[in-house]
Structure 1
Amino acid sequence: METLSEPRAGLGEHVAVAHDLAKSYGRGEGAVHALRGVNAAFGRGQFTAIMGPSGSGKSTFLHCLAGLDAVTSGSVLIGDVDITRLSRSALTRLRRDRLGFVFQSFNLLPMLTAEENIRLTGRLGGRDADRQWFDSIVDALGLRGRLRHRPAELSGGQQQRVAVARALLTRPQVLFADEPTGNLDSRAGAEVLGFLRGAVDSYRQTVVMVTHDPAAAARADRVLFLADGRIVGELADPTADLVHDRMRTMEG
């Protein structure tokens, strides 16, 4: 069993913890073990990147942490709540109220404007963000002039910024991002990563991001490396070169 990966000193309490997390698909000799006893902790105001070769289990790990995929064994705590023990309806409410999601494919509703997409999650929960917080996020992401546009009228970078705004509007305990720059050009990707970094630094937002890009991982406070469903290394204060060298070693 891997040792518990701790938040950096001074970052405060854990807001998400995985304990002995396992995930398998299928049974018997043909079973695929995507996660094999993973332990990790994520502190408030910490930006963690998760990396690994294809098939390492990094996206499965993120989805289990976020309650999007059921675990085979082990536990996931969001705050003091073990989400692996929740009913389906309770888990849906927790994801809506306490977690944020940003995915590679944007996941915007095409018939809604940018503003309506941003406000959607809160309104589904019967509440709306205060105007000051909404304005702060919209202005920080440079979306003020695009609020009445529908997704088809926005660039890929603008669509992803709308998705980031939607994820942050409910002030989630953790924001999960799965390859958030995968469909973006380098300039748009840098803008999205810059805002995620700013959300950590300015709002003490906790961000957990899966990426294959060493330059993206270098924006994080630390990088966790997965291989064959296990955490096999960790890098604090990463640089793109250090991350690239570690990944080259793993893939070699």
Structure 2
Amino acid sequence: MRADETTMGEAAVTATDLTRVYGSGDGAVRALDGVSASFPRGRFTAVMGPSGSGKSTFLHCLAGLDQPTSGQVTIGGQDLTRLGRTARARLRRERIGFVFQAFNLLPVLTAEENITMIAHLARRPVDRAWMTQLVARLGLADRLDHRPAELSGGQQQRVAIARAMLTQPDVIFADEPTGNLDSRSGTEVLRFLREAVQTENASIVMVTHDPKAAAYADEVLFLADGRIVDTLAKPTVDEILTRLRRISGPE
């Protein structure tokens, strides 16, 4: 499946002709320039590109964290771009999971309280059976009463993943999820994300600069100058590096 084609199955998230312009006049910066992409359910997609390519802006617009200048983002049949701030926040709580580079855990809460926080904010009952399964698979069963400062970086990111997955959202957005981790912890996180796609039909869109991380995805979408310039299915590290060199051009 090419990212700019309509998917055969139901899409978890769809972007149509997205633009994002910062500033105005001669100083305007076009971070996104007419990007269209559809991400199917049960698929792991990595988004890559040179610095300034628009990949983080793209993720933030898809997730409703930033409002595009024009275009449309649809999640669960709802157009995010037509929702007000309160409605967008509600949709994020109910239908989207987030995993960030900096973990974004609340330091005063225990691991368990951090995991269940979004469910409580969305006023949804916590599925205790699903939570028990999640924390067991993530190796957190004996860490639930620990606060973030008492956990390693890898454990904190696994808490963030459990939080993102607890409500079984339509899509999980991951922004450089291994950026603050050592290679062993990063590999554990990526293996779990890969497993979640295969066993739970999770839909994951991940921004990363790391070809090794992107190789865990089903497909890599490459951005440059705010546009999709290439896609790569069933990627390998060597293939990703070759595409990145081609996009970046000679130094």
User: What's 1:38 paired with?
Assistant: 35
Q: Distance in 2 between matches of 1:110 and 1:52?
A: 33
- The answer to whether the 8 Å contact 1:103/1:180 transfers is yes
Alignment of 1:67-146 (within 5 A): 67-146=64-143
Alignment of 1:216-235 (within 5 A): 216-235=213-232
Q: Distance in 2 between matches of 1:235 and 1:79?
A: 26
TM-score with structure 2 setting the length: 0.97
Matched length: 248
Q: Distance in 2 between matches of 1:118 and 1:179?
A: 20
Equivalent position amino acid for 2:139 in 1: G
- The answer to whether the 8 Å contact 1:24/1:32 transfers is yes
User: What's 2:167 paired with?
Assistant: 170
> 1:3 deviation in Å?
7.8
Q: Does 1:4 align with 2:4?
A: yes
Q: Which runs of 4+ in 1 moved over 2 A?
A: 2-7
> 1:88 deviation in Å?
1.1
> 1:126 deviation in Å?
1.4
Equivalent position amino acid for 2:205 in 1: V
Determine which of 176, 198, 211 is the counterpart of 1:201. Answer: 198
Segments of structure 2 that go 5 or more residues without pairing to the other structure are none
1:219 partner SS = coil
1:17 partner SS = strand
TM-score with structure 1 setting the length: 0.96
- The answer to whether the 8 Å contact 2:76/2:95 transfers is no
Alignment of 1:174-193 (within 5 A): 174-193=171-190
Q: Distance in 2 between matches of 1:124 and 1:44?
A: 25
2:142 partner SS = helix
Equivalent position amino acid for 1:60 in 2: T
Q: Distance in 2 between matches of 1:99 and 1:79?
A: 10
